[in-house]
Amino acid sequence: ILPKMGEFKVPITPQNYRVWFEYYSGTNKELLEEINSIIEARRKFTPELNRYLYTKYFGDDHNKEMLREVQAKTINVLKNFLEQVLATTNTTSDYGNKLEKYSEQLSKAEDLSEIQEILENMIRETSHMVESTRDLHSKLQEASNQVEMLREELAKTAEEAKRDALTGLHNRKAFDEEIAKLYKRYKDKGEIFSLIFVDIDHFKRFNDQFGHKVGDKVLQVVANTLNYTLKGKDFVGRYGGEEFVVLLPLTELDNACLVAEQIRENISIKRLRVTKTGENLGTITVSAGVSQINESDTIESLVERADKALYLAKNSGRNNVKSEKDL
């Protein structure tokens, strides 16, 4: 493994080593195919590409590490504050005993919600002694601010975990969560919604003829056009590969078909050119399949109908929209 990493000038870091170990083990077929395609295309394993491969295939492990780090930092902030308080001579015995109890609870805390509860209790106890411990109250507020910053960092990490690294759109995990929410609202309140699958026509041609860098640019152009076309509470994500997904709350099938057609038209007018040479790389077209939730649906059956409509569009000459009505 190490000689091969050296051959492709891949820095030997824990993250890079994990990617290449998984590649050589052959257990992750998608990773194996992606690295082989990179090697065949003679692309350089830049720091950005190495980071993208690790995030794509091992992002969940990274997020767990971030969660543990944030919680450890939070506990450390509060422990430092408690040590300062307990070393202060002008606190009452009762107050000191309570803070020692919180210090013990803090050592046993397992998640941020428990830490937050301990922090709130500490603030409440401190407020009883504001007149005699103004300096300590200020330090506690500072600790509270640091905890809030760490919570925001954790929230940002959680949001990044639901984004596709290449396009910036929501990823498959975010889609699964969003469609589950819409399905529950439909069952609880009768709020309908529609689903659109969008697939780039002849995407493999861009990769094979012009290279993966151009293929990545095509994905980004389609993603940007989807973002531009869709508004409000509409959800757009990358479902996988060259396939995208759109969720339209409170939208019936006919209107969803109009949205899909607008997406198709907006993408079809795009022209790709090489910036340096002006070479025309052709046009991008997409096919789309549309379905609407109904009383007998599961999430799986709704997705299946949209998927079948998409493949009907593909088999009908591509660059068109089909719905469940056409099945």
d(CA 190, CA 180): 14
Residues of the chain falling short of pLDDT 50: 89
* pLDDT at residue 309, rounded to an integer: 98
pLDDT digits (tens, 9 = 90+) for 263-285: 999 999 988 876 667 677 788 99
* pLDDT at residue 316, rounded to an integer: 95
d(CA 54, CA 194): 34
Q: Is 242 a catalytic residue?
A: yes
Helix (DSSP H) and strand (DSSP E) numbers for the chain: 12, 7
- HSE toward the beta carbon, residue 146, CA cutoff 13 A: 20
* pLDDT at residue 89, rounded to an integer: 44
Query: Tokens in use for 263?
Result: 């997406």
| Catalytic hit among 242, 261, 295, 300 | 242
d(CA 114, CA 118): 6
pLDDT digits (tens, 9 = 90+) for 73-105: 667 766 777 677 666 645 555 666 777 777 777
* pLDDT at residue 92, rounded to an integer: 52
* pLDDT at residue 63, rounded to an integer: 54
Which own/partner pairs from 27-35 qualify as long-range (CB within 8 Å, at least 24 positions apart)?
28/57, 30/57, 31/57
Mean pLDDT of the chain: 83
